[in-house]
Chains A and B, each alone.
Chain A
Amino acid sequence: MLLEKNYRNISRDIRKKILKVSNSAKSAHIGSSLSIVDILVVLYKKFLKKNIFILSKGHACLAYYCVLQKFNYITDKILKSYGKNNTILLSHVSHKVPGVVFSTGSLGHGLPYAVGRALAEKIDKKNKKIYVLISDGELNEGTTWESLLFASFHKLDNLVIIIDYNKIQSLDFTKNVLQIEPLNKKLISFGCNVKIINGHNYYKIYNSLLYKSKNKPYVIIANTIKGKGVKFMENSILWHYKSPNNEELIKAINELE
């Protein structure tokens, strides 16, 4: 069982940290980071002790690094070096950071890598699960669909793909770039088990991650809100690029209090 209050508190702390570090580093992709916090918190609290996680949307690394700091993979001092000169925390996911297995930043790379890891588990008759979090923008990439073909053909039921479906990609809303709906039907037709959840509801996230897929890769479509938690950042393309100035930081933190 989950104590929802605990999760809410952890997520709130992480969101505050994301805002502060983004302000200090003047870094972008804050909306993308805020949208995946709740998923990461449930994953790290409950599912990753023996399993492997890959963040394919490497630009949302600030959320990842704040979670890694919260779960003691990196120190607060390291976190504060984010985006600074000579840091290990560059502004995309890097495997040089303790706790990170795979560097990403160019989209469409995380899922094929995760497929390879899942396949290796099957070959060696081991039972680690491979969790990979991808963005909805990555559904434009050919490698995503190639990987799904391969994963379902080889029955990689140890592969869990979580789609951060915040419906905004880099330049526009996903529906205005390349309409990816009906997403659920597409994924089912590619041979996946699919669940659709609210990606900010801890119970739904937890329950969906408990599901044991058989003979098929498993996809969780997590409906999320880009910029979640800070009203003036939510659902806004601008906050894919902007970092909060001091005034905006105070306003955002007050909203989270």
Chain B
Amino acid sequence: MRNIFIDELILATEKNKNIILLVNDLGFGVVEEFSKKFPNNFFNVGISEQSMIGYAAGLAAAGKHVFVYSIANFSTFRCAEQIRNDIDYHNLPVTVVSVGSGVSYGNLGYTHHALQDYSLMRSFPNMLIVSPGDVMELRSCMKYLVKNPQPSYLRLDKSSVYKIHNSLPKVSPGKWINVIKNNDKKKIIYLTTGAVINHVEKNFLKKNRYSLYSIPMWSMKSKKQQNNRIKKYKKIIVVEDHFHDGGFQSWLNESTNNKNCKTNIISKSISSSVVNKVGSQEYLMKLLK
């Protein structure tokens, strides 16, 4: 996914020289093409994530659309207050990009796993969470972000080139995308956000052939529009490569009008026992229950 991201960023920067990419000394094998093509639009700020977000805010206030690229926790938790105050509070066009969603950095261990990032990023009022499910959703989301610069969090799997859509899906904040259409008579569906779609297709859909939907863009602001959609279903099985607490399912649950909502919203998320486990992404994903 990271290569598709760079590919889209290069396409966008060819047309818009106000796009800037900041990295914190990460991105080997990913960012080189961009830095060679646009040396004036690329800065390796060194290993200093908090300051990096501050620089991004300053650049954005001067009219730049800044993409800040790093591994999951480094561009989120390490600089959480800078994102809160400098970016979100000022409503500045900075896209925080994190690579390694969920446990995609499997063997690198807990320090490199993104398991609480939704919970953090969705607590900022202006922040748009952008979590594409495959390379086509990613391309659509990048095109949307470039057209609509705003405080945003782009969450990418590591190196997956998984593709489930045949064409570019239409994306907008809070919008549901029908990924796989099956018999909806039972009114039970799968709903996901992000690269975990791959896991759902391979594991869950084999057991129960419900329709699969994804919401690649969501935020505090797009909660209101969810209730009408949610109430169409009897049961929604929400799958995410994140802890249950504070994640996508929590967001969806909070979006319902609780008193009248009869929909049973079920969570399939990663168990907190992952903290003490070591293994590949595939192995650790068995903890998604």
A117 touches B59 (CB 8 A): yes
Please list the 4 inter-chain residue pairs (A to B) with the smallest Cβ-Cβ separation, ordered nearest first.
Answer: A116-B58, A112-B54, A120-B62, A146-B48
Give the chain A neighbours of B82 by CB distance below 8 A: 109, 112
State how many angstroms separate the Cβ of A220 from the closest Cβ of chain B.
Answer: 20
Question: How many positions in chain B have a CB within 8 Å of any CB in the partner chain?
Answer: 28
Given the complex of chains A and B, what is the CA–CA distance between A143 and B85 in angstroms? 15
B81 touches A103 (CB 8 A): no
Question: How many positions in chain A have a CB within 8 Å of any CB in the partner chain?
Answer: 28
Give the chain A neighbours of B16 by CB distance below 8 A: none
B48 touches A120 (CB 8 A): no
Selected A-B contacts with CB under 8 Å, 24 pairs? A102-B57, A103-B85, A105-B85, A111-B54, A112-B50, A112-B51, A112-B58, A112-B82, A113-B54, A116-B54, A116-B59, A118-B58, A119-B55, A120-B61, A120-B63, A121-B62, A124-B62, A142-B48, A143-B48, A146-B48, A147-B55, A149-B46, A150-B46, A154-B43
| Majority secondary structure of chain A interface residues (helix, strand, loop or mixed) | helix
Give the chain B neighbours of A147 by CB distance below 8 A: 51, 54-55
Give the chain A neighbours of B55 by CB distance below 8 A: 112-113, 115-116, 119, 147, 150
Give the chain B neighbours of A150 by CB distance below 8 A: 45-46, 48, 51, 55
**Which of B40, B56, B85 sits near A123, CB closer than 8 Å?**
B40
B40 touches A115 (CB 8 A): no
Interface flag for A101 (CB, 8 Å): yes
Q: Mark A107-142, 1 if CB is under 8 A from B, else 0.
A: 011011111111111011000000000000000001
* Residue in A closest to B17 when the chains form the complex, CB atoms: A123
Given the complex of chains A and B, what is the CA–CA distance between A114 and B120 in angstroms? 26
Given the complex of chains A and B, what is the CA–CA distance between A120 and B50 in angstroms? 18
Given the complex of chains A and B, what is the CA–CA distance between A146 and B52 in angstroms? 9
Given the complex of chains A and B, what is the CA–CA distance between A119 and B22 in angstroms? 12
Give the chain B neighbours of A114 by CB distance below 8 A: 58
Give the chain A neighbours of B64 by CB distance below 8 A: 120, 123
Interface flag for A95 (CB, 8 Å): yes
Interface residues of B in 5-63 (CB under 8 A from A): 20, 40-41, 43, 45-46, 48, 50-63
Interface residues of B in 66-124 (CB under 8 A from A): 81-82, 85-86, 89-90
Enumerate chain A interface residues (CB-CB to B < 8 A).
95, 101-103, 105-106, 108-109, 111-121, 123-124, 142-143, 146-147, 149-150, 154
State how many angstroms separate the Cβ of B57 from the closest Cβ of chain A.
Answer: 5
Interface residues of B in 240-267 (CB under 8 A from A): none
A119 touches B58 (CB 8 A): yes
State how many angstroms separate the Cβ of A41 from the closest Cβ of chain B.
Answer: 25
Given the complex of chains A and B, what is the CA–CA distance between A119 and B40 in angstroms? 11
Given the complex of chains A and B, what is the CA–CA distance between A124 and B64 in angstroms? 10
Give the chain B neighbours of A118 by CB distance below 8 A: 58
* Residue in B closest to A105 when the chains form the complex, CB atoms: B85
State how many angstroms separate the Cβ of B44 from the closest Cβ of chain A.
Answer: 10
B81 touches A106 (CB 8 A): yes
Identify 9 new A-B residue pairs, CB closer than 8 A, beyond the known A108-B50, A112-B55, A146-B48. A105-B85, A109-B82, A109-B85, A112-B52, A112-B58, A119-B43, A120-B63, A147-B51, A147-B54
Give the chain B neighbours of A102 by CB distance below 8 A: 57, 61, 86, 90
B54 touches A115 (CB 8 A): yes
B59 touches A119 (CB 8 A): yes
* Residue in B closest to A130 when the chains form the complex, CB atoms: B58
* Residue in B closest to A114 when the chains form the complex, CB atoms: B58
**Which of B43, B46, B50, B61 sits near A143, CB closer than 8 Å?**
B50
